[in-house]
Amino acid sequence: MKNIFITIILGFLGSNAFAVSNDSLRPIQVGDSVFLGACSAPGYKYLLSYKKTRFPDMTATYNKETGEDFYDYFFKDGDFDVKQLTCEYALKKYRVICLKIFADKKTGAERPVMFLDIGLNTVAWVEFDGAVESMEVYLE
């Protein structure tokens, strides 16, 4: 696997992200894949694993092509096991299922988050800025 450092910048309109490399500029969208970088024990600093253990509304859905309504679908109701994402996920690629921008509760600043499909009823919550700066996530 070719490890290329990519700087990722969030756009101002909605939750579009852009990957910049030496020779390209392209948007990162739901459905794209990103790689997780090397990991130091016990796990990643800017990635959390959310495993949903109870789905109160079994008929709930979201738009898998756009990621629209994913956050409400997955996080609004139910129970979760939450932990730091462990190194067993390192050096593999995962599908982006949602891009979202939150407001930091203390500062009000934008806090971009990317959600990755890492297994059955399990997503990685990626604190975008920190994960990119520390090369925990990247494009090939």
Question: 59 pLDDT band (50/70/90 cuts)?
Answer: confident
Per-residue pLDDT at 140 exceeds 80: no
Lowest mean pLDDT among 23-32, 36-45, 50-59: 23-32
Per-residue pLDDT at 23 exceeds 50: no
Strand order in the sheet with 110-119: 79-86, 43-54, 122-127, 110-119, 93-103, 33-36, 137-138
State the pLDDT at residue 58: 82
**What are the extents of the domains in the chain?**
7-138
Mean pLDDT across 128-135: 92
d(CA 111, CA 31): 21
Mean pLDDT across 41-65: 91
State the pLDDT at residue 41: 87
The mean predicted confidence, pLDDT, of the chain is: 82
Per-residue pLDDT at 2 exceeds 90: no
State the pLDDT at residue 39: 93
d(CA 43, CA 20): 26
State the pLDDT at residue 26: 59
State the pLDDT at residue 1: 32
Strand order in the sheet with 17-20: 7-10, 17-20, 25-28
State the pLDDT at residue 6: 33
